């Protein structure tokens, strides 16, 4: 399962970020807000961070839940609480940018 990182917005509220890296099969949680907490509090805002190995940089991000719907077409397997995503090409990754 992809491991989230947590950051603070300017107002101090946390958001979660999960990376999807070019060419790497990744298991993404379908409901990270139910699985992860910061200081015991629910984190409601999530981003999918898109990482290119070709360009060796972050190429963008997207709202996690919107991106998750778009990722379904790249799923190798799906369970109740997670989805296994195939290793995406650079152009496939770029198509997910918000």
User: How do beta strands 14-21 and 46-52 pair?
Assistant: parallel
Residue pair 27/82 in contact by the 8 Å Cβ criterion: yes
Task: Kindly report whether the global pTM for this prediction surpasses the value 0.75.
Answer: yes
DSSP 22: T
Over residues 54-97, the pLDDT tens digits come to: 999 999 999 999 999 999 999 999 999 999 999 999 999 999 99
3-class secondary structure per residue, 41-63: EECCCEEEEEEECCCCEEEEEEE
Predicted confidence at residue 24, as pLDDT, reads: 98
Q: How far is CA 46 from CA 9, 55, 63, 89, in A?
A: 12, 24, 6, 23
pLDDT of residue 44: 94
| Averaged pLDDT score across all residues of the chain | 96
Q: Give the start-to-end residue ranges of the domains of the chain.
A: 5-88
């Amino acid at each position: 399962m992809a491991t989230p990182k947590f950051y603070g917005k300017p107002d101090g509220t946390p958001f979660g970020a999960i990376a999807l890296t070019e060419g790497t099969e990744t298991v993404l949680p379908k409901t990270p807000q139910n699985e992860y907490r910061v200081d015991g509090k629910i984190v409601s805002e999530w981003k999918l961070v898109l990482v290119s190995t070709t360009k060796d940089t972050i190429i963008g991000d997207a709202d996690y839940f919107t991106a998750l719907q778009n990722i379904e077409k790249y799923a190798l397997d799906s369970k109740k609480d997670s989805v296994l995503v195939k290793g995406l090409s650079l152009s496939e990754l770029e198509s997910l940018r918000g």
